[in-house]
Structure 1
Amino acid sequence: MKKLSFVVAAAGLIALAACSKQTPAENAIDNNVAALENTADALENAADATSNEAVESSLENAADAVENAADAEAAKK
């Protein structure tokens, strides 16, 4: 959980540093997309780490759902 928090914070700072002339709404979308992508990565890593196939499948499905949410959020831009 600490790794996930660190990655989300880092992604937020990177998005903030890369802020050129975006509106606050665009920055919020970018931050949300980054957070969702990081969550999906964490779920995929957890799926890779488990030895239970049912749990692995469930985690991969959750990661796919979060990635779809990130794509939908990015499309708002």
Structure 2
Amino acid sequence: MKKVFLLFAVATMSLSIYSCRETTEEKTEDAMESAGEDIEEAADETGDAIDNAADEVEQEVQEDDNM
């Protein structure tokens, strides 16, 4: 009886450890994906800001040339 109980306990612990490892792995993958998306969004916003600034500078130069 002790052997059966011990075998059951070891099997349960093994499954719980494997389950926790998989959950942690999934959370890590999700966090990395989210970080990648945040970086991509920030890069897009930065690119848009640079484009807008370049357009404003070009307009200022054209206005100065017309004076």
User: Smaller-chain TM-score range?
Assistant: 0.3 to 0.5
Which structure has greater helix proportion? 2
Higher RCO, Cα 8 Å, sep 6+: 1
| Larger Rg over CA atoms | 2
| TM-score normalised by length of structure 1 | 0.38
